[in-house]
Amino acid sequence: MASLPVGYAGRTALGLGKRIGGKPAEAVAHEMQVRTAEQVFRVLGELKGGAMKFGQAMSIFEAALPEEMAGPYRATLTKLQDAAPALPAETVHAVLAGNLGPDWRERFAEFDDHPAAAASIGQVHHAVYRDGREVAVKVQYPGAGKALMSDLNQLSRMARMFGSWVPGLDLKPLLAELKERVAEELDYLGESENQRAFAVAFEGDPEYLVPHVLSASPQVIVTEWIGGTSLAEIIADGTREQRDHFGTLYQKFLLSAPARARLLHADPHPGNFRAMPDGRLGVLDFGAVAKLPDGLPRAMGELMRRAEFNDSVAVLNGLREEGFLREGVDMDPQDLLGYLEPLVEPSRHEVFHYSREWMRGQYRRINDPRNKDFSIGLKFNLPPEYLLIHRVWLGATGVLCQLDTNVRTRDILNEWVPGFAPTDDEGTTGLGATDDQPR
């Protein structure tokens, strides 16, 4: 990581020399951006672990950044979603031998040493079982667990400093929860159980395809191969029909799984989702999963509905009860509703258009220190039980904006988020609805 600013300084000096030599400033700037992007990809990709997870998060939220900043790096960041620099074949073979036995090759008629996808803690190889079935073999990077936990321990040591920046946030229990969830993500046997549960819950579904697990060990998972086109490719080159169709399926899957599988898929980046030729959405990677035996919290839907119809006092009290506001932290209820508007606005429309322009506008508003929304954000706490839900909600919104998709979000919320749909005694227009607010 330390090499990044050094490399940039070297390119800046090179660029200055080219300008003095008469090369156009715009051409020099573009060349420097491309080289910097390539170095970011190489460094974050080769470091794997927490550094690469950070890069994947950057790739999801690039939709919030101004185009002049995000544009040159978009393609490079997208690579981090499923095409990171690969491990040497001999290292992969050693992991397979350690987990499947020295005769591991006898299980396969074919095994491609070049990974089909690579991410933060493991990479996937295409293979063919001896019985002819195409399979995906997911191999964990040696030392990935140690590296990730080291990153989190560093964060824990810095928690006091972070806490001074965001006085409303109680970081200690949040980081404890994060470490526990990351430990689960490193457990491939646990991941295989998650995937089996999802596969059963969505078996035969006309809209979704979850590959079945065929074999699992602590560092290797073998599953059915499903192919398809990465959602990242739909973001880059998809048609309007593809963007709207797969954007809808993507949001619906993330919000319906807690009711159907009692689990939340908590890694929403596009590399984990596949557009299948038959129109279904294929879903991969079940390491980051939140167990929700009762589904999504009912309070979440009820508070969204109250916010949709501007019941500011009820929203403030509800957030306090759920632990989003710590004792002694107060704010104006109407200011609170303004801050929450990005979470609520998609539900106000029969069909909502998620776009980079919308995301950038919201990002500028809540991150401008001159705006009261900035100070409100510093007062919020994130209860540990909402950590992965929060990650999914924000991450999915970023991906939907990258997709530039039209989604009937209101219908999805009504069907799958407990507490959002109006109850019988509230009537069909919902709490606080007016004639110009169709329900």
| Local confidence pLDDT in tens for the 439 residues of the chain | 343 444 444 444 444 454 445 555 555 555 655 565 556 555 554 555 555 555 555 555 666 666 655 555 555 555 555 555 677 899 999 999 999 999 999 999 999 999 998 766 889 999 999 999 999 999 998 887 777 777 777 766 666 655 555 566 676 777 777 777 777 888 899 999 999 999 999 999 999 999 999 999 999 999 999 999 999 999 999 999 999 999 999 999 999 999 999 999 999 989 899 999 999 999 999 998 999 999 999 999 999 999 988 999 999 999 999 999 988 888 899 999 988 988 899 999 999 999 999 988 888 887 777 878 788 888 888 888 998 999 899 899 999 999 999 999 999 999 999 999 976 555 433 333 333 333 3
Angle at alpha carbon of residue 66, lines to 61 and 68, rounded to 5°:
120
Q: Which residue has the tokens 């602590």?
A: 218
DSSP 261: T
* Cα–Cα distance for residue pair 284/273, rounded to 1 Å: 6
Task: Look at residue 3 in the predicted model and tell me its pLDDT.
Answer: 39
First-to-last C-alpha distance (Å) of the chain = 50
Residue 88 structure tokens: 């040497």
* Cα–Cα distance for residue pair 104/133, rounded to 1 Å: 16
* Cα–Cα distance for residue pair 354/277, rounded to 1 Å: 24
Q: Which spans in 21-143 are helix H? A: 25-47, 49-61, 67-82, 89-100
Q: Where are the beta strands (DSSP E) in 188-341?
A: 208-209, 213-217, 220-224, 229-230, 263-265, 273-275, 281-283, 289-291
* Cα–Cα distance for residue pair 69/360, rounded to 1 Å: 12
* Cα–Cα distance for residue pair 141/48, rounded to 1 Å: 8
* Cα–Cα distance for residue pair 210/198, rounded to 1 Å: 7
* Cα–Cα distance for residue pair 200/211, rounded to 1 Å: 10
Specify whether the CB–CB gap between 178 and 50 falls below 8 A. Answer: no
Q: Which of 298, 326, 301, 331 is nearest to 316 (CA)?
A: 331
Residue 162 structure tokens: 């972070």
Task: Look at residue 218 in the predicted model and tell me its pLDDT.
Answer: 93
Specify whether the CB–CB gap between 413 and 301 falls below 8 A. Answer: yes
DSSP notation for 160-179 = HHHHHHSTT--HHHHHHHHH
Q: At what angle do helices 25-47 and 67-82 cross, to 10 degrees?
A: 30
Residue 40 structure tokens: 């970011």
* Cα–Cα distance for residue pair 69/80, rounded to 1 Å: 18
Give the type of residue at 311.
Answer: D
Domain boundaries, the chain: 3-82, 228-439
Residue 280 structure tokens: 């279904």
Q: At what angle do helices 409-416 and 240-260 cross, to 10 degrees?
A: 10
Q: At what angle do helices 49-61 and 387-403 cross, to 10 degrees?
A: 50
- For residue 60, the Cα-to-chain-centroid distance in whole angstroms is 6
DSSP 1: -
* Cα–Cα distance for residue pair 265/203, rounded to 1 Å: 16
* Cα–Cα distance for residue pair 325/304, rounded to 1 Å: 16
Task: Look at residue 147 in the predicted model and tell me its pLDDT.
Answer: 73
CB-side exposure of 233: number of CA atoms within 13 Å? 10
Q: Which residue has the tokens 């997709």?
A: 403
Burial class (CB in 10 A: 0-12, 13-18, 19+), 419: middle
- Regarding pTM above 0.85, the answer is no
Distances (CA, A) of 27 to 8, 15, 19, 42: 16, 9, 9, 23
| DSSP strand pairing (213-217 vs 220-224) | antiparallel
Task: Look at residue 431 in the predicted model and tell me its pLDDT.
Answer: 39
Specify whether the CB–CB gap between 134 and 126 falls below 8 A. Answer: yes
Residue 376 structure tokens: 């409100």
Task: Look at residue 16 in the predicted model and tell me its pLDDT.
Answer: 47
Distances (CA, A) of 220 to 93, 123, 141, 193: 11, 10, 10, 13
Task: Look at residue 221 in the predicted model and tell me its pLDDT.
Answer: 96
